Amino acid sequence: SWEKAYQYLKLSGDKTLRTHSRWEVFRFYREALEALRKLPESEENKRREVDVRLSLMGPMMSLAFPEDSLEILQEGERLSRELGDARSLARFRGGFGNYYTTQGDRSRAREYLEDAFQAADKVQDLDLMASLGYQICTMYWGQGDYQKLAEVAPRVIALLESTQRESQFFGLSSRPYSILVSSYGLALAGIGKFPEGQAQCEKAIRFSTKLNDSGDIAYAECMYSFLCVYQGDGKRAIEHAEQAITDADPLQAAAALFIAWHCLGFGHYLLGDYENALKYMEKSREIGRDLGMPDVSIFLANLCGVYIELGDLENARSCAEKALELAQKEQNKYSEGLSSMRLGLTLVMQDKSRLAEAEGYILRGMK
């Protein structure tokens, strides 16, 4: 019967969630949803449908929202409104925020996530704050807003530690605690507090290693690699990026690999190995395309720097122009400044008669 099929598939998804087979989790929950929709319409079945759609959010986030993820969120939001389920509605709004983050629509993402997080914070709903805190900090990282990330992350971390719920998943495929700690480490580095940031990244790696969670270890290693990039330490950036690539399962942690390959390329860039820098950054870009993700402005701005060093000014200018456009859309001020300066540099290197125009871009980037 469809009832038995639903029960089997839902339980299979719950069980597989703990083994970190994201695509398997997605498939089981997706099929459970289809079985559930074959049953007679009732309030109970609508609530079960909301529950399955919420369960799908974790694997969808890990897989960069594949297939019909947006429709899954939209129907979940509609059902939550119909049922008057404010808590589930807040979680779906958080899901929308994360979806729009992966699509590069940072303004819309921020609106959804901050609205949902404020609602959870107001009533001190720890379960919601944990899952939404994970999502909102991912969004702040994407915008380069390290100040806000450094404000929000430690609040949620402290709540998880005080209630001893660090190892819980809160309906996600990754433990929010580990992601928040490593993201907090990068945020501290982003505001110039490198020793403190390094301590947080190491704390996240120790925590995830103790639980033998390869996906969370990979993410923490990515954040540590980025921290080393900010320090200008190419050798250590490479070491941590390579460790992330080793730990990350291509089928389960593709988003971590997207970051790790770029960091590996940037590490080689810092060491003056521009050919390998190009190879690894393009590998990252290829993974992003396979995931259906748009280009990320800061990654393109970094790639522009590689092309400049290789003397490929046409590709350098193309990357800088697109990076600047994306940075403005993402509302990423750091990336916008870097992209603008690199565009100005590329223009004057290509054509010295465009010096005045190039200076304009460089000066705007320095503001």
Per-residue DSSP letter, 168:
-
- Indicate the burial class of 44 (C-beta count within 10 angstroms; 0-12, 13-18, 19 or more): exposed
Average pLDDT of the residues in 168-196? 93
Question: What integer pLDDT is reported at residue 7 of this predicted model?
Answer: 64
pTM: 0.79
289-318 core/surface letters (b: 16 or more CB in 10 A; e: else): eebebebbbbbbbbbbbbbbeeebbebbbb
Lookup: tokens for 85 = 């389920």
Question: What integer pLDDT is reported at residue 279 of this predicted model?
Answer: 98
Q: Given a cut of 60, is residue 172 above it in pLDDT?
A: yes
Q: Given a cut of 70, is residue 10 above it in pLDDT?
A: no
Q: For residue 320, give its domain range.
A: 295-367
Q: Given a cut of 90, is residue 157 above it in pLDDT?
A: yes
Q: Given a cut of 60, is residue 15 above it in pLDDT?
A: no
Q: How many CA atoms lie within 13 A of 1 on its CB side?
A: 5
Tell me if 301 is assigned to some domain.
yes
Question: What integer pLDDT is reported at residue 250 of this predicted model?
Answer: 67
How far from the centroid of its chain's Cα atoms is residue 240's Cα?
Answer: 18
Tell me if 145 is assigned to some domain.
no
Q: What span, in angstroms and rounded, lies between the C-alpha atoms of 159 and 177?
A: 10
Q: What span, in angstroms and rounded, lies between the C-alpha atoms of 90 and 120?
A: 8
Q: Which of 189-203, 248-262, 295-309, 313-327 has the lowest mean pLDDT?
A: 248-262
The secondary structure of 295-315 as a DSSP string is P-HHHHHHHHHHHHHHT-HHH
State the total domains in the chain: 1
Q: Are the C-beta atoms of residues 46 and 82 closer than 8 Å to each other?
A: yes
Q: What span, in angstroms and rounded, lies between the C-alpha atoms of 59 and 253?
A: 10
Average pLDDT of the residues in 72-84? 94
Question: What integer pLDDT is reported at residue 94 of this predicted model?
Answer: 86
Tell me if 4 is assigned to some domain.
no
Lookup: tokens for 139 = 């969004």
Q: What span, in angstroms and rounded, lies between the C-alpha atoms of 272 and 210?
A: 36
Report the percent of the chain where pLDDT is more than 90.
58
Question: What integer pLDDT is reported at residue 14 of this predicted model?
Answer: 58
Neighbouring CB atoms inside 10 A of 246's CB total 12
Q: What span, in angstroms and rounded, lies between the C-alpha atoms of 165 and 314?
A: 52
- Nearest CA among 277, 290, 361, 269 for reference residue 321: 361
Give the pLDDT band (50/70/90) at residue 17.
Answer: low
Neighbouring CB atoms inside 10 A of 164's CB total 8
Q: What span, in angstroms and rounded, lies between the C-alpha atoms of 41 and 4?
A: 16
Q: What span, in angstroms and rounded, lies between the C-alpha atoms of 17 and 109?
A: 26
Give the pLDDT band (50/70/90) at residue 239.
Answer: very high
- Indicate the burial class of 18 (C-beta count within 10 angstroms; 0-12, 13-18, 19 or more): exposed
Per-residue DSSP letter, 65:
S
- Go through the chain and tell me how many residues it has: 367
Tell me if 146 is assigned to some domain.
no
Q: What is the pLDDT of residues 49-66, one digit of tens each?
A: 999 999 888 888 877 788
Average pLDDT of the residues in 11-40? 74
Q: What span, in angstroms and rounded, lies between the C-alpha atoms of 8 and 18?
A: 16
Question: What integer pLDDT is reported at residue 3 of this predicted model?
Answer: 67
Question: What integer pLDDT is reported at residue 53 of this predicted model?
Answer: 92
Q: Given a cut of 90, is residue 273 above it in pLDDT?
A: yes
Q: Given a cut of 90, is residue 260 above it in pLDDT?
A: yes
Q: Given a cut of 60, is residue 207 above it in pLDDT?
A: yes
Average pLDDT of the residues in 109-130? 86
Q: Which of 136-150, 177-191, 231-245, 334-348 has the lowest mean pLDDT?
A: 136-150
Tell me if 175 is assigned to some domain.
no
CA diameter of the chain: 75
Average pLDDT of the residues in 218-228? 96
Tell me if 190 is assigned to some domain.
no
Q: What is the pLDDT of residues 186-197, one digit of tens each?
A: 999 999 999 999
Q: Given a cut of 70, is residue 257 above it in pLDDT?
A: yes
Lookup: tokens for 128 = 């919601």
Question: What integer pLDDT is reported at residue 82 of this predicted model?
Answer: 94
Per-residue DSSP letter, 174:
S
Tell me if 283 is assigned to some domain.
no
Tell me if 262 is assigned to some domain.
no
> Which one is predicted more confidently, 98 or 306?
306
Q: How many CA atoms lie within 13 A of 309 on its CB side?
A: 18
Q: Which of 11-20, 168-177, 235-244, 338-347 has the lowest mean pLDDT?
A: 11-20
Average pLDDT of the residues in 298-319? 97
Report the percent of the chain where pLDDT is more than 70.
93
- Indicate the burial class of 20 (C-beta count within 10 angstroms; 0-12, 13-18, 19 or more): buried
Q: What is the pLDDT of residues 80-118, one digit of tens each?
A: 999 999 888 888 988 898 898 788 787 888 899 998 888
Give the pLDDT band (50/70/90) at residue 179.
Answer: very high
